[in-house]
Structures are given as C-alpha cells and as structure tokens.
Amino acid sequence: MTTTTTFALIRHGQTDWNAAARIQGATDIPLNDVGRGQAADAIAPLKRYDWDFIVSSPLSRAAETADLIGERLGLDTARRLPALIERNYGPAEGLSAGAELDALRFPGGFHGAETEQAVAARGIDALRDLAREHPGARIIVVAHGTLIRLSLENALDQPIGSITNASLNVVQHHHTHADGSTAWQLDVLNGEPLVRA
C-alpha cells in the first residue's frame, strides 16, 4: 500500500525588499500591497484542489500570505513552523547586487550564510515530518523561494530554477508501507502543470 501526501508549496507575496532586489533571507520583512494582491491571486489556482490545512514560515511575509490564503479558502489559521524560515544569508541580508555583496560571495554561497545543503535538509525534513504526521493529507505550505527551490532540488535530484512570488507548486510525497521507501513527484511548477513523457 502507498500513501500519497500532496503539498502546495507557495512562496510568499512580494515585499519592498523583493521589489528593490535586496536579499531578505531570515530578516523579517513584511508584505507590501503588491504582495497582498499576489496572495489574493493565488486563491484561484488553489481552489482547483481540496486542501486540509495550511502551515507557514513564522516570518511575517509568509505568515500574512498564509493567513490571507487560509481565510479565503476557509482553512483554520496557519500553524507556524520555524523549519520553514528562509535561508539565513548572514551579512548578505539587506544587500543588493554590487561590490559589497560580491565581496561576500564564494562558489555556492556567501560567507557567514547558511549552506544550501543545510537549507535543503531543513526544508525537506519539514515536509517529511508533515507527511509522517498527516499521511494522505493535502497541505498548503507557505514559505520562501530559496527554501522551496532547494528543498525540491533535494527531493527530486534535479535543478528547479527560481520560484515566483505566490506561485503554485504542487509536489506529491509517496510512501510505500511494505518497504518504507519514499518518492517525490512534481506536478506543477510556478503555476505551470508539468507534462509527463
């Protein structure tokens, strides 16, 4: 027997730092009005599915996005999961492209930042925990672009690319009870259904 848990992974709506191309990371930057509109726009694609509940990062941009979505879908207030916080970019947070940011770069990251591997492990562990605690559920997860991208790349062992603000990403976690194996399947990326060969 196989149990399938379905996740809608939604990146929060836009913030002023997104609009200014500044690195946010774990800094708590609120949604702006464009971001609130994006959260409202996320409702229609989500309504194509049935959802059991919603969880989010505790950072205000994700929490507010989740609350706006949850209210419109008639779901209870989102549970906040610290494991869903965005990658900590350390001293790079608040910076835009330029000499100061370039001085912090090295291949695969920034000096003083959380590693991509740590972020991917934290994100995928949070999804696995949800699948284990709520087998067969359909769960909306509102989090952050880098965390979602790295988690999907880890789960699927393939490059994903950027995750757009408030876009729908649907991934299924399949758990086979007989042997304990698990598999992931990406069905929708940045609002676009994926065609299987």
Active site annotation includes 12? yes
User: Which pair of tokens denotes residue 77?
Assistant: 């207030």
Query: HSE-up of 47 (CA within 13 Å, CB side)?
Result: 10
Among 64, 71, 86, 114, the one annotated catalytic: 86
Active site annotation includes 173? no
Q: How many C-beta atoms surround the C-beta of residue 20 within 10 A?
A: 9
**Sign of the torsion formed by the C-alpha atoms of 16, 19, 20 and 22:** positive
- Helical axes 116-133 vs 145-156, angle rounded to 10°: 80
Kindly report the CA angle at 62 between 57 and 64, in degrees rounded to 5? Answer: 120
* CA–CA dist 169, 148 (Å, integer): 9
Query: In this structure, which amino acid lies at residue 129?
Result: D
3-class secondary-structure state, position 67 = helix
Active site (catalytic) residues: 12, 86
